[in-house]
Structure 1
Amino acid sequence: MSLASDKEANEENEFILSLPKERGFSSSPYLYLFQDFWCLPSRIQGVNNSQKHFHAKDNDVFLASFPKSGTTWLKALAFAIVNHQRFSSFDHHPLLSSNPHQLVSSLEFILSHDLHDQLLSLSNMSEPRVLGTHLPFSSLAESITKSSCKIIYICRNPFDTFVSLWEFVTKMKSVSSLEFTLEEAFENYCNGITVFGPWWRHMLGYWNESKTRPNKVLFLKYEDLKEDTVFHVKRIVEFLDSPIIQGGESSTVIENIVNLCRFEKMKDLEVNKSGYIDNIVEKKHFFRKGEIGDWINYFSPSMIEKLSKIVEEKLGGSGLSFKVHS
């Protein structure tokens, strides 16, 4: 490591240590309050790099989500839609041999290391580029918010989001030493102290933008996508102005994409049963249940009451609401 990069690393560490921190239910002992959201220390540099160095293209497609809100499914669907002309065969599709997170990278993750190489790799990607992000709307690079690129956001009932987050984080390799009970993790969640949280601010940022600029941001709910997948995949196809809609067999193509990306099908693929993503999470943990309403098996009456009040307090009056399946 050169003296210059040593100096930069020291300055970065000093900056992180200067931020407010809280004990975090995550892969790191602490989360740091950075740009009004709680961030892993390992992601702060990636966020800074994306804001300073990433240049969005007008035909880019960004898939935004709060963690554990349907990210994997959205990545699979959007990848299949955007790349339909490149990969029109559903019998030999990349999604049959690669995990969706390997096909659609998270911008703030890949830019957290090897900046020059990653920027070069991004500039050489086939277009349209499809990229993921968990960043709040307010922390997206200006080139993303001000260009003509499209953003698809997916969110999920806050009750199920918490359960999915709990199950996911407890299975990460680096978390085994962190002794968090379900109740402690729930308190953090209610206080907004989760990775990329508070979750309500995350949702509202994209929700409000989708109302102001519906041609820029498409807002989806996991529950709606689950209940009428074909209808909402068609919405994605139309939002992206995909060539699929010009085809005479658009309905058949959409149904084939829906079938290719079905939860049960992806879960049963060998590629999603073993191996790791980024050497942190086993691929199989991205496919747990995919159900609506599983939270009822985890929540006590007092937890239900507490989170219901927070949802009403934070989202009330915004027009954004969720059906609570119990």
Structure 2
Amino acid sequence: MATPNSSLQSHDKQETVDESYQKTYKKFDEILPTLPKDKGWFSEHLVQYQGFWLKPRALLGALLINDHFTNPQPSDIILSTSPKCGSTWLRALMFAIINRNTYDFETHPLLTTNPHDLVPFFEGYMRRDGSYSGRVDSLPSPWFLSSHLPHSLLPKSLTSTCRFVYICRDPKDVFVSKWHFMNNVRPKELPPISFEEAFDLFSRGVSHYGPIWDHALGYWKASRESPETVMFVKYEDVKKETSVYVRKLADFLGVPFSANEEEEGIVEKIVRLCSFENLSNLEVNKTVKTTKVRPSVSNSDFFRKGQVGDWVNHLTPEMAQRLDQITKDKFQGSGLSFDLQET
């Protein structure tokens, strides 16, 4: 039973925590009006903060993470992506790899739960609501989280300690996927955003967590400098050799497959469980189900085609050439590249 003194100490500690969070909220309220704004893909504007375009609540999440995520551990794992680069699929693969000794494949959580509900969204978790709820320190440890935040907006205590897996994708396919997604989840009272308008925004870097090129370069450079803490993969490579990358992911995450697991075909079982065909046809991922964290997005919105090269069915040759040229110019000299069409 708690003594009066211990109860008082607990109360004082909570007041201190609340006060520190209020300071972050105040900082956010002061910063927000000073930032450049541009038309968003949704009903709200995006703001530019330290070179990246964010929704205001993503900025708040970044500030909260920097101010209050103070004790990361080497066992913590963060899946990082720019939006629409394959994060739903990689969430599933990594969750299955990490928890393969906890669940069997017949009753696996992925069969009844959307991957986004199994892996908390870092900056989305750290949002403010009317009661100022949501605390970094309430997350269970070790953490397996996903994030869209650029590498440069994360605290050094995090980037120097945790393990990151980053997946990138050909910007042409990213744009097409993003345009479809945004029109699916756009409020019904707003007209659809046109393909041409969205293309102009995307190519200028005015996109959620964009520019996508700077986002990828941040993690690419980090992976070159610290390969033991940042694993950088391409969506196209994982699609082509999924089993190979499942093994690479397991090795990087410190849970390599044993000889017995290889003999039992565990890698292949994970690949089948997490395949686009399997996940997209599960009842849970075909339903219109939203959550408090993502009230306008249903489970089915996360599954469209999952194809490589679908951009050819949407982009004009001039549009494809423009994005390819931006990609070449941005990545020049970095060692990062995509198999792009000749321009």
TM-score (norm 1): 0.91
Give the Cα separation in 2 of the matches to 1:112 and 1:262.
31
Does 2:151 correspond to 1:137?
yes
**Contact 1:28–1:40, Cα closer than 8 Å, also in 2:** no
Does 2:153 correspond to 1:118?
no
**Contact 1:229–1:258, Cα closer than 8 Å, also in 2:** yes
Which of residues 236, 245, 260 is equivalent to 1:248? 260
Which of residues 245, 264, 272 is equivalent to 1:232? 245
Q: Partner of 1:209: helix, strand, or coil?
A: helix
Q: Once superposed, which parts of structure 1, at least 4 consecutive aligned residues long, lie more than 4 Å away?
A: 4-11, 114-117
Alignment RMSD: 2.2
Identity among equivalent pairs (%): 39
Which of residues 117, 122, 144 is equivalent to 1:102? 117
TM-score (norm 2): 0.86
Return the letter of the residue paired with 1:139: L
Structure 2: tracts of 5 or more residues without a match = 1-18
Give the Cα separation in 2 of the matches to 1:8 and 1:223.
39
Partner of 1:209: 222
**Contact 2:123–2:147, Cα closer than 8 Å, also in 1:** yes
Give the Cα separation in 2 of the matches to 1:11 and 1:207.
30
Return the letter of the residue paired with 2:63: N
**Contact 2:53–2:206, Cα closer than 8 Å, also in 1:** yes
Return the letter of the residue paired with 1:84: R
Structure 1: tracts of 5 or more residues without a match = none
Shift of residue 21, structure 1, vs aligned partner = 0.6
Return the letter of the residue paired with 2:128: H
Give the Cα separation in 2 of the matches to 1:316 and 1:111.
36
Deviations 1:75-99 (A, max 9, x none): 0001111112222x01111111110
Deviations 1:267-309 (A, max 9, x none): 0111111112421211101010000111011111211221121
Does 2:200 correspond to 1:187?
yes
**Aligned residue pair count:** 316
Shift of residue 247, structure 1, vs aligned partner = 4.7
Give the Cα separation in 2 of the matches to 1:160 and 1:103.
26
Does 2:327 correspond to 1:308?
no
Deviations 1:218-262 (A, max 9, x none): 1110000001100111110111120x4235223611111111101
Return the letter of the residue paired with 2:321: E
Give the Cα separation in 1 of the matches to 2:134 and 2:56.
21
Shift of residue 7, structure 1, vs aligned partner = 9.4
Q: Which structure's CA Rg is the greater one?
A: 2
**Contact 2:280–2:286, Cα closer than 8 Å, also in 1:** yes
Which of residues 68, 74, 81 is equivalent to 1:53? 68
Does 2:88 correspond to 1:76?
no
